[in-house]
Every structure is written in structure tokens, then in C-alpha cells.
Amino acid sequence: MTLPTGADTPSSLDDQPVDDRILRQGLRNIGDMIRLEPKPFAIGAAGAMANTAVTLFLSFVVGWVVSGIAVPAYENGEVAFGTVMVGVAALLGTSIVRFSTMCARRIGAGVMMFGVQAHWRRRITRRYLALPVSWHQKHPTGTLLSNANADVEAATRPLAPLPFAVGTLFMVVVAMGAFFWIDWAIAMVALGMFPTLFALNALFATKMAPRAKRAQELRAEVSAVGHESFDGALVVKAMGREAAETERFSASAEALRDAMIGVGRLRAAFEPAISGLPEIGVLVALLVGLARFEAGAIDLGQLVTVSFMFSVLAFPVRAIGWVLGDLPGSVVGRRRVDHVLSATGDMTYGDNELPETTTPARLEFDAVAYAYPDGHEALHEVTFTVEPGTTVALVGATGSGKSTLAHLAARLIDPTRGAVTLDHQDLRDLTHASLARTTALVQQIPFVFDDTIRANLALDRAGLTDDRLWDALIAAGAEKFVAALASTPETSGLDTEVGERGTTLSGGQRQRLTLARALAGTPRLLILDDATSAVDPKIESQILTGLKHSADLASVLVVAYRRATIALADEVVFLEDGRITARGTHQDLLQTHQPYADLVTAYERAEAEREFEGEFNDEEATA
Ligand SMILES: Nc1ncnc2c1ncn2[C@@H]1O[C@H](COP(=O)(O)OP(=O)(O)OP(=O)(O)O)[C@@H](O)[C@H]1O
């Protein structure tokens, strides 16, 4: 097992400097996200600015309440009831407006952040599905999960405090004006404090960038290792590899822990300064304000207003720090998201349509060669035809290229040279829908969704009635076990839930279910890549014989191992090291091609041994 390290991190990501220009890239990322969700942003920002305005207004109300109500009341011993009521109404009114604008700010921020997350997750999923098999083979599933979760969340994290920060910026600008209007000396305190705060945040962002990048890569790695371990839980348990696997996971988890501690340490070093500076500002403003009050430059109401303004600013200016603090992580997350979104190599489809008939199709391989992305040449000059309505068996030793050939026939991959055609049309010229309607590939390892039998068979394809599904189940030899399934009296048969990956079914049942899924769409070409290996040989023979004589006759390309299955084929194509070395009927090849005869005999012996062991085990079990 290879450890997927920052493995998947593309070189283009590594090449980009993360520690400089981070502010510019981060702000550009925020700009992109605002363009994606302009309305919630506008609501959030408008709410934040209104909240700011009303908060600043509150400073004046408090100042006025002190100088106009509290001080006269203290000095004269009484105050007019009407004046008190005006003060109470002003305080209450501004507080209510403050509360509602805060709600607008928070709701706007939330809707915007979750909206952008949903947008990117949808795009990432669409991209994953469009990318070719070769791309997926190089990218561990856990890393892909991390792209759609941790990376998207990191990229959008600055959005939560964004409207707050925008409102705060507005508040700082207005407050600066107010400070200058009230007294130049107090304005100087603010003028010293805010730029220092921004400089401190910028320094923090620069230092944080490489640490955030590392942490994000390690998150993906932990996800990849974890996914692989859980996915292979049965193998891990059966082979007694729990300790080794735990060790492997621990190594990744500890690396992530160390990286996160590094992030935390840096935060711990900057956080007190960033959050403490505004408090110091309030203190200095108060001292300067007092001195100016004593010098007679400002009155008591102005002193209260200024102190209140500084103290209500102290907390919100941290929102700007939150946005700046999240920028490095967001830039890294965004780059990882973009790496998926900009990945190329997806298959392009043509415009040609095949007729929507049910007559069997003609499949032709014309001088086809295929090399895997690592350069390994798996097939060379392969030429053969599956004539309409016939069954061709692909036989060959392990690694001879049978699955590669099946994948080419289903257009999961495209040939490096030569062409694969259906009814004389190059597969690359056909529309995706036409190809999906005409061919069906059933693989050895069946994939069953965590859903009902019906949903697994129909896969949301139009026009698949229950009768059609039962016909497909009968053709796949699966009708008896499906009819017998009864999770509860209400949900039985087609309505039975099969559990994650069909865990409630046996391997052979799962294979027959996926075969029925393929047959339900009445394909004109059926490609079976060792698709019935877990099915009892007698049943396998019955299924294939049934397919040959079915009313919905399809052409069949079957990767086969069992003699009985091979013998059913109209023609056998024998592969050795990616080349066709013999073709003909099973009987002909047995007599004329020794390597073929040797391989089929070896298969037969292995099958007989398996059956004998099965019987022996059955006897032992009953003894
Ligand atoms: N993703 C891949 N990257 C590189 N080489 C690959 C890849 N998949 C398969 N190969 C190689 O291509 C060759 C043909 O593989 P293929 O799976 O088509 O053989 P096969 O005949 O189906 O084998 P088996 O009977 O064991 O399933 C093998 O040498 C294999 O190692």
C-alpha cells in the first residue's frame, strides 16, 4: 500500500509562492466569492454598515444621555420625566435597530458562505464525474473527499466574518471623521492604532501562509489514509493488520497534529497583540481624552462619546483580523479546489447518434493499441469484430489486457492508436447518451448503491417499469433471491434496502443484481468483464444461454475463465501480452493453439479444485 502523501498536491501548487502576494490572492478569492453570491453579501454588508451606523449613533445617544440627563439630574437632583423618556426611547430604539441589523449581517454572511460552498461542491462533483478514469486512478478517494469538504470550507472561511469586517471598516472610517471632528489629539490616537493593527494582521497572514498550506495538505492525507483503511476494513481485519494500519493512520494524524500546533503557536503569538491593541487604544484614548477634558478642549459628553466609540470599536476591529487571519488558509483551499476544477483530460463526445433500436450492435476493434499514462503498452494492434447477435469470449492469462479491452469497448478509455467502432461509427464520434443507451459494461467487482433493489436497477432511467425490472432480474438469474428478500413485510422484493455497497447481499447476488441493472436498459452490446465469477457455474451457464436466446438479443463481449462459459461463445479471441495470438471457436483453438489449450485446462483444473474444496468443506460442515 502506498501512502498518499501531499501526494496529490500538484506541482503547479507547489511552485506558487504562498507566503507573498497572499493578501492580493486572498482578496481576489473574496472578490470571486462575492460575485458568486452578490445578494446575500449585499444584505450582510448593508446590515453590517447599518449596524455600524446605529452603533456610532448610540455613542452620541449615550454621550447625550450622560450630559443631558445624568449630569443635570446629579447636579439639580431632578430631571424632567419627558427628557428621561426621550433618553429611554432613544436607547431602546437604537438597541432594537442594532439587533435587527446584526441579524441581517449574520444571515447574509451565512447564506453567502453556504451558498458558495454548495456552488463549489457541485462544480467539483461535476468535474470529478467528467474526468477520465486515468485521472481518478491517480487521485485517492480520500483526497477527493477532502477537496469537496476541507478545502471548500477553508476557501470560504473568511466569508463568515466578511460582512462584519466590511461594516467595521465603514465604522472605522466614520469614527475617524468623528474623532477629527471632536478633537485632533484623540484622532491621533486612532490614527496610530488602526494602521498598526492592519500591519500586524498582514504580518500574521504572511507568516501563517506556509503553515496553512502544510496543514491543508495533511488534512487531505489523513482523509486519504483514513478512507483507504476504512474501505479496506475487511482485508485489514482478515489479515490481522489492525496495528500496522493504526500505526499508518497515526503517522498521518500526528503530522497533522504537529502542523496544527504550529498554526496554533503562531496564532497564540499574534492573537494577544491583535486583540490587545484595541484595548490599549481604548486606554490611551481615555487618558488623552481626560487630559483634553481637563484642558477644556472637549466637554464631558464628548469624552463619553469618544470613550464609548473606542470601546465599541475594540471588538469589531477584530473581525478584520479574523478575515485577514483566514486568508492564507483560504488561498490554499482555493488553489486545491481550482486544481480539481481546472483538471483536464475529460472525454469529449461527438454529435453522432446510433438508431434507437433493440437490434444487436456490431463492435469492431481496428488496429487498436493502448498505453496507460505511465507508458505501459497494454494492447498492441488488436483487430477483431463482434458481429451483431454473436458472443465473443476474451480469454488470456492474467495481465494479458482483457479488462483494458473491455474498458475500450465501453469507452471508459480511448485507444492510443486505431479505432473502436459501433455499427461502423467511431465511439469518439458518438454522443454520450447514445453510447450509454447502446452499451452496458458489467464489471467483476459489482457496485451496489445504499438504496432499494428497484433504485439500484433503474438508476433513474426513464421508462423502466417494475415488469421490465423483473424481466431483467429473470434474465440475470436473480428473480428468486430478490423475490425471497423481505426486510419487513412492507418493504420486500424490489423495495428491499440493500445497505451500503450491498452488504446485505452475497457476492454472487450482487453480481447478478448489477447484471440485471445492465440488462434492464436493453443494451445492444453487453460487455461482461468477469461479471459472473462469483455466480455458481451452472447458473452462470444458464444466464449466458438465456442471453443468447433472449428476445432482447444483444451482442456480447465476455471476459471468461470457465470452460462451459467459453464453449458457449461463437468465437474466442485469445490474448497474450496485449496481442491477439489466436481466434476461432473454442474447439478449434483447443486443437490448434497449445498455449490456449494449456490455459483453459489450467482454468478447468483450478475450477475443479475449487468445487472439490467446496464439497469437502460442505461435508466437513455437515459432519
Ligand atoms: N492503471 C494502470 N496503469 C498502468 N498499467 C496498468 C493499469 N491497469 C492495468 N495495467 C497493466 O496493463 C496490463 C493489462 O491489464 P488488464 O487489467 O487489462 O489485464 P487482464 O487481462 O484483465 O488481467 P486479469 O485477468 O488479471 O484481470 C497489465 O500488465 C497491467 O499491469
Fold classification of 26-341 (topology level)? ABC transporter transmembrane region fold (1.20.1560)
598 neighbors 399 (Cβ within 8 angstroms): no
Give the pLDDT mean for 1-17.
38
Between 54-63, 94-103, 352-361, 508-517, the lowest mean confidence (pLDDT) is in 54-63
Any ligand 1 atom below 6 A from CB of 372:
yes
Q: Which string of DSSP letters, residue by residue, matches 1-19?
A: -----GGG--HHHHHS-SS
Ligand 1 proximity of 403 Cβ (cutoff 6 Å): yes
Greater pLDDT, 615 or 112: 112
Q: pLDDT, tens digit, for every residue of 49-101? A: 898 888 878 877 888 888 877 777 777 777 777 777 887 888 888 889 989 99
Residue 138: CB within 6 Å of ligand 1?
no
Distance 401 CA to ligand 1 centre (A): 6
Please count the residues of the chain: 623
Residue 567 has pLDDT above 70, yes or no: yes
Percent of the chain residues topping a pLDDT of 70: 92
Which residue has a Cα nearest atom 14 of ligand 1?
Answer: 401
Ranges of H-type helices in 412-498: 432-438, 453-458, 466-475, 479-484
Span 217-268, pLDDT tens digits: 888 888 888 888 887 777 777 777 788 888 888 998 999 999 999 989 998 9
Q: Are 308 and 276 in contact (CB under 8 A)?
A: no
* CA neighbor of 614 nearest in space, from 515, 513, 537: 537
- CA neighbor of 575 nearest in space, from 601, 593, 549: 593
> To test ligand 1's pocket by mutation, which of 134, 394, 404 has the most ligand atoms within 8 angstroms of CB?
404
**Cα–Cα distance, 70 to 63 (Å, whole number):** 10
pLDDT of residue 619: 45
pLDDT of residue 46: 93
Q: 39: how many CB neighbours lie within 10 A of its CB?
A: 11
In the chain, DSSP finds a helix count (H) and a strand count (E) of 24, 10
What would the grid cell of residue 498 be? Answer: 440493500
Answer whether 137 contacts ligand 1 (Cβ < 6 A).
yes
| Residue appearing with cell numbers 454548495 | 118
Atom of ligand 1 at shortest distance to CA of 374?
4
- For ligand 1, the distance from its centroid to the CA atom of residue 378, given in whole angstroms, is 7
Q: In this predicted model, which residue has the larger pLDDT, 467 or 113?
A: 113
Distances (CA, A) of 76 to 68, 71, 72, 88, 304: 12, 8, 6, 20, 20
Q: Is residue 598 within 8 Å of residue 420, measured between CB atoms?
A: no
Q: What is the mean pLDDT of residues 390-407?
A: 93
Distance from Cα 376 to the centre of ligand 1, integer Å: 9
Please check whether residue 437 is in contact with residue 423, taking contact to mean a CB–CB distance below 8 angstroms. Answer: no
Most confident stretch, 41-45, 134-138, 489-493: 41-45
pLDDT band for 208, please (50, 70, 90 cuts): confident
d(CA 297, CA 299): 7
Confirm or reject: Cβ of 375 under 6 Å from ligand 1.
Answer: no
> Are 380 and 164 within 8 A, CB to CB?
no
Quick one: pLDDT at residue 415? 94
Are 320 and 198 spatial neighbours (Cβ–Cβ below 8 Å)?
A: yes
Which sign, positive or negative, has the C-alpha torsion 367, 370, 376, 378?
Answer: negative
Answer yes or no: are the C-beta atoms of 151 and 220 closer than 8 Å: yes
Which helix (H) or strand (E) segment holds residue 452: the answer is: none
Does the complex come out with an ipTM higher than 0.85? yes
Q: Residue 221 is inside which H or E element, if any? A: helix 184-231
Q: How far apart, in Å, are the Cα atoms of 582 and each of 111, 421, 538, 596?
A: 64, 21, 27, 8
376, 380, 416: which to mutate for ligand 1, most atoms within 8 A of CB?
376
The whole-number pLDDT of residue 20 equals 52
Model confidence over 150-176: pLDDT tens digits?
Answer: 889 999 999 998 998 888 888 888 888
CA–centroid distance, 146 to ligand 1, in Å, is 28
Q: How confident is the model at residue 14 (pLDDT cuts 50, 70, 90)?
A: very low
C-alpha cell, 418: 486505431
Mean pLDDT over 521-547 rounds to 82
Range with the poorest average pLDDT among 87-101, 346-360, 609-623: 609-623
pLDDT in tens, 280-289: 888 888 888 8
pLDDT at 40 over 90: yes
**Extents of the domains making up the chain:** 26-341, 363-622
| 26-341 shares its CATH topology with 363-622 | no
pLDDT level of residue 30 (50, 70, 90 thresholds): very high
**pTM to 2 decimals?**
0.70
Residues in CB range of 345: below 8 A, 6 or more apart: 131, 132, 134, 135
> Beta-carbon neighbour count of residue 398 at 10 Å?
5
Under DSSP, is residue 536 helix (H, G, I), strand (E, B) or coil? coil
- Lookup result for grid cell 425490472: 469
257 in contact with ligand 1, CB cutoff 6 A = no
pLDDT tens digits, 170-197: 888 888 888 888 888 888 888 888 788 7
Topology classification of domain 363-622: Rossmann fold (3.40.50)
Residue 159 DSSP code: G
Look-up: residue for cell 511552485?
15
Ligand 1 atom nearest residue 404's Cα: 18
Beta carbon of 402 within 6 Å of any ligand 1 atom: yes
- Determine phi and psi for 591, rounding to 5 degrees: -85, -30
* Helix boundaries (H) for 232-241: 233-238
Look at 4-13, 119-128, 301-310, 591-600 and tell me which has the smallest mean pLDDT.
4-13
- Return mean pLDDT, the chain: 83
Indicate the residue type of 293.
F
Cα–Cα distance between 388 and 402 in angstroms, integer?
20
Q: Answer yes or no: are the C-beta atoms of 65 and 126 closer than 8 Å.
A: no
